[in-house]
Amino acid sequence: MQTDHQLDQQLCFALYTAAKSATSAYRESLGEIGLTYTQYVTLLALWERDGRSVSELGEVLHLDSGTLSPLLKRMATTGLIERRREGDDGRRVTIHLTETGRGLQSRVNDIQARLYDAVDMDAEELAMLRTLARRFFESIGDARDGLEGPTR
């Protein structure tokens, strides 16, 4: 099997540059309302379903606790979310939107609309790209799990 080593033929590079461009475009627009990209996706998850546990947020966002904990702390400090201890022993922590966090949704919707309008792709192409990106993510995760082999 012959492999092509040209940079512009590498799938990983195409995905890298596309992701970098997308996050950069969002970063600039989100900065106008004081959000980072990871705060933005965290808010998206909470707008979808408020009151998620910290572990559930980590799973949904694909973030480890070393990244998620400081992120949630900053978001609580800026008044976007509040953390609540749940259960008899208080070990389960759930994350809830504040009025400020809920209030950003319409501004974020405007940013999303502006960015989608700026992309030279129609709705069908964007839907296909999203589907393929998700499928690639799941597939590469399965392949990576298979390459790691049994643990000792």
Give the residues across from 96 on adjacent strands: 82
pTM over 0.85? The answer is no
Alpha-carbon distances of 70 from 12, 77, 116, rounded to whole Å = 29, 10, 30
Kindly indicate the confidence band of residue 49, based on its pLDDT and cuts at 50, 70 and 90: very high
Q: What does the pLDDT look like over 116-144, one tens digit per residue?
A: 999 999 999 999 999 999 999 888 876 66
Kindly indicate the confidence band of residue 89, based on its pLDDT and cuts at 50, 70 and 90: confident
The verdict on domain 36-102 having CATH code 1.10.730.10 is no
Please provide the distance, in angstroms rounded to a whole number, between the alpha carbons at the two ends of the chain.
32
Contacts of 28 (CB under 8 A, 6+ apart): none
Contact by Cβ (8 Å): 104, 112 = no
Q: Smallest Cα–Cα separation from 103: which of 80, 73, 71?
A: 80
List the domain boundaries for the chain. 10-31+104-146, 36-102
Kindly indicate the confidence band of residue 151, based on its pLDDT and cuts at 50, 70 and 90: very low
Average pLDDT over residues 14-21: 92
